[in-house]
Amino acid sequence: MIIYNVTINIEEQSHSEWLEWLQQKHIPDVMATGFFNSFKLLKLLSTQDDESGFTYAIQYSCTDMDTYIRYQNESAPALQSDSLKMFGGKFVSFRTLLEEI
């Protein structure tokens, strides 16, 4: 099982609007691609002293690396572009790829 993890820190002023958009639009759009079997939305509880905003991790599960690569090639660019159009400059993110053992 491959886990595609997206960690996002969203600024406090945009948090409520972003979280609603994430749950109502973005995650359903990602899942509608058919590449992922399930997802988890997690909120980070621990923060650094100099950290502001809110941090979340969204973990999408797919069966194998080929499926993930197809998602990256076929669907990810448009979905990431949508995020930037809606909230560009209001968040920072990074992505990691994990293998369930």
pTM (two decimals): 0.92
What per-residue confidence (pLDDT) applies to 49? 67
Fold of the CATH domain 2-99: Alpha-Beta Plaits (3.30.70)
Where along the chain do its domains lie? 2-99
**pLDDT, tens digit, 9 for 90 and up, residues 80-99:** 999 999 999 999 999 999 99
- Residues composing the chain: 101
What per-residue confidence (pLDDT) applies to 90? 95
Q: What is the rounded distance in angstroms from the CA atom of residue 22 to the CA atom of residue 2?
A: 21
Mean pLDDT of 7-13: 95
CA pseudo-torsion sign 11, 15, 19, 20:
negative
DSSP E strand stretches across the chain: 2-10, 38-43, 54-62, 91-99
What per-residue confidence (pLDDT) applies to 52? 86
Q: Give the position of tokens 């992922």.
A: 36
**pLDDT, tens digit, 9 for 90 and up, residues 36-83:** 999 999 999 977 767 789 999 999 999 999 999 999 999 999 999 999
Q: What is the rounded distance in angstroms from the CA atom of residue 101 to the CA atom of residue 96?
A: 16
Q: What is the DSSP letter of 24?
A: I
Q: Order of strands, edge to edge, in the sheet holding 38-43?
A: 38-43, 54-62, 2-10, 91-99
Mean pLDDT of 16-39: 98
